[in-house]
Amino acid sequence: MNVLIIPEDFRKDQYLLQPIVAALLSHLGKPRAKVTVLKDPLLGGVARALDFQQLKPIIERYRGMVDVFLLCVDRDGEQSRRLRLGNLESQARAILPENRIFLAENAWQELEVWALAGLDLPKEWAWRDIRAERDPKERYFKPIAERRGLLDEPGEGRRTLGIEAAKRYAKIRQRCPEDIQALEGRIETACASR
């Protein structure tokens, strides 16, 4: 199975998405899935990632090589984001062969929360506060990367923390049922119907 992750901006997101999605697929019994993060073109933000006119050429370019397209964006506090992602999925289905899948998911609130979910966090932090925070990247992720001396590495700590979190995928899925467990179920259902 070839999976292409389409991030809103690969420059940092790739370091979280690749290991965590690979761990998700392994959990679903697909440990040999080839997981690639799209780097060309650089979408450069959520507005472009949610624009089907930007996604269509990507889908058309890779539809012969990719089994599952997975658009992953931040929710950013937008209650209607899931509806918008559903619309993109419908548009993609219209141009994809039946044996190809396009799924779109938003992290609750940001992708960095998925990594935080798999880490040992400072005792003074409550998970419900992290999950409710509108800007967890600034409030929680950056401070933990800074405490660990990782801000100068590629992705400002995302490479190390993404790999570390992915190794504890069971913890991520337990802490993130609204997005990670939902995505698992959607991938499992889509693959079963192929």
Beta bridge partners of 4: 36, 69
Token couple for 22: 């690979």
Q: Which amino acid, residue 97?
A: P
- Please give the torsion angle defined by the CA atoms of residues 185, 56, 10 and 65, in that order, rounded to the nearest 10 degrees: 70
Domain ranges of the chain: 2-192
HSE of 150 in the Cβ direction (CA atoms, 13 Å)?
18
- Residues of the chain below pLDDT 50: none
Q: Please state, in angstroms and as integers, the Cα–Cα distance from residue 63 to each residue in 8, 69, 104, following that order.
A: 19, 9, 16
Is the whole-model pTM more than 0.85? yes
Looking at residue 30, what is its pLDDT? 94
Residue 80 confidence (pLDDT): 84
* pLDDT on residue 170: 97
Confidence (pLDDT) at 90: 96
**What pLDDT score was predicted for residue 8?**
95
Interatomic CA distance for residues 193 and 67, integer angstroms:
13
Residue length of the chain: 194
For residue 79, the model assigns a pLDDT of 80
Q: For residue 194, what pLDDT is reported? A: 65
